[in-house]
């Protein structure tokens, strides 16, 4: 039996593979809109295991399976008890015997890696505390559609150095875009990640600053995410205090290029990391970005589970 291709970390893939996945997703989105998509996953089932809440990720995977002629089963931590009711390696083998793929959203990144070590079907990371690869592939697909290219652009991420920021930094480096993170110093991406990124992509244009204004200067994309990720609720008051001065408001957006787009992976906390005015402004592409989760992941499923 051949080893399945998992989709867990952007770092695992070549620039060519990532670029081709984005181009394929754009092509298949067009085919879908023309009603020409083939039901290539007919008769196949996807297991979707979630330890955290979700709107976009759960919906997009489930809708994608329906559109491809297959079926998806939503499983929660309370039912499965991954690593508690039974060992991760047993869950991986039981699901592999019945399903064509596993989508998993867990707190622990190691749990998804362990699922993949023991599964004989593809495992797709639907967000861990460490990374959110499907999100950023849909994001860069949106950038490619809106701005015509990815390489050579500047993406300014204003906010927490979190799972989304880590995956985005990696995808930008691989695909030739500059990535600048603006955050209070203690919320930067960790040295270990930055060193790994520089080893993997020596030409990466990656920097971190405490100054949002300099980060967004001449940016093509202004991106933000919640200051309080799922699982960090107890730190909410501290983080909201620490991030004062890091809100994406219209004054900040005006420092970027006039052609810049504003992005947010959602859910957005209007009045914290982003204003209502920015969310609703003509430069905001957040809802097309959300829809592209479906188009990217449908293409990914068709590729990996076929």
Catalytic residue set: 105, 132, 135, 225, 265, 293
Q: Which of residues 71-130 bind ligand CP (CB under 6 A)?
A: 127
Q: Which of 26, 32, 45, 54 binds ligand CP (CB under 6 A)?
A: 54
Q: Which of 134, 137, 130 is nearest to 112 (CA)?
A: 130
Cα separation of 143 and 221, whole Å? Answer: 8
Single residue of 155, 164, 173, 180 touching ligand NVA by CB under 6 A? 164
Q: Report 211-240 residues binding ligand CP (CB under 6 A).
A: none
Question: Which among 216, 231, 229, 217 has a CA at the least distance from the CA of 187?
Answer: 229
Q: Contacts with ligand CP in 166-205 (CB under 6 A)?
A: none
The distance of closest approach from Cβ of residue 130 to ligand NVA in the complex, given in angstroms and rounded to an integer, is 10
| Interface of this chain with ligand NVA, residues 103 to 132, rule: CB under 6 A | 127
Q: How many CA atoms lie within 13 A of 83 on its CB side?
A: 11
Min dist CB 281 to ligand NVA, Å, is 21
How many residues bind ligand CP, per CB under 6 A?
8
Stretch of 36-44, 54-62, 197-205, 209-217 contacting ligand CP, by CB under 6 A = 54-62
CB nearer ligand CP, residue 192 or residue 233: 233
* Residue 163 interacts with, from ligand CP, ligand NVA, none (CB under 5-8 Å by kind): ligand NVA
- Alpha-carbon span 292 to 201, nearest angstrom: 26
CA dihedral 95, 97, 103, 106 (to 10 degrees): 30
d(CA 169, CA 35): 35
163 sits near ligand NVA (criterion: CB under 6 A): yes
CA proximity to 286, closest of 258, 255, 306, 262: 262
Q: Which residues contact ligand CP by CB under 6 A? A: 54-57, 127, 135, 265-266
Q: Which residues contact ligand NVA by CB under 6 A? A: 127, 162-164, 225-226, 229-230, 265
């Amino acid at each position: 039996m051949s080893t399945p291709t998992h989709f867990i970390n952007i770092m695992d893939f070549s620039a060519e593979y990532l670029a081709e996945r984005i181009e394929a997703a754009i092509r298949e989105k067009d085919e879908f809109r023309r009603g020409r998509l083939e039901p290539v996953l007919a008769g196949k089932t996807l297991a979707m295991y979630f330890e955290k809440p979700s709107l976009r990720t759960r919906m997009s995977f489930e809708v994608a399976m329906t559109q491809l002629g297959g079926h998806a089963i939503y499983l929660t931590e309370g039912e499965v008890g991954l690593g508690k009711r039974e060992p991760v390696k047993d869950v991986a083998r039981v699901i592999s015997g019945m399903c064509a793929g596993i989508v998993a959203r867990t707190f622990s990144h190691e749990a998804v890696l362990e699922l993949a070590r023991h599964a004989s079907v593809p495992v797709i990371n639907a967000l861990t505390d460490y990374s959110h690869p499907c999100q950023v592939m849909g994001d860069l697909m949106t950038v490619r559609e809106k701005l015509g290219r990815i390489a050579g652009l500047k993406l300014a991420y204003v906010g927490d150095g979190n799972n989304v920021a880590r995956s985005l930094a990696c995808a930008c480096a691989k695909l030739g875009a500059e990535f600048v993170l603006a955050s209070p110093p203690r919320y930067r991406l960790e040295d270990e990640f930055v060193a790994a990124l520089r080893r993997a992509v020596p030409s990466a244009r990656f920097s971190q600053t405490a100054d949002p204004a300099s980060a967004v200067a001449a940016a093509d994309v202004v991106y933000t995410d919640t200051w309080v990720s799922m699982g960090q609720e107890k730190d909410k008051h501290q983080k909201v205090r620490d991030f004062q001065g890091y809100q994406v408001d219209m004054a900040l957006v005006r420092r970027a290029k006039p052609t810049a787009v504003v992005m947010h992976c959602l859910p957005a906390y209007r009045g914290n990391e982003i204003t209502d005015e920015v969310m609703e402004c003509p430069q905001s592409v957040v809802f097309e970005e959300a829809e592209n989760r479906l188009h990217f992941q449908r293409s990914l499923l068709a590729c990996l589970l076929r």
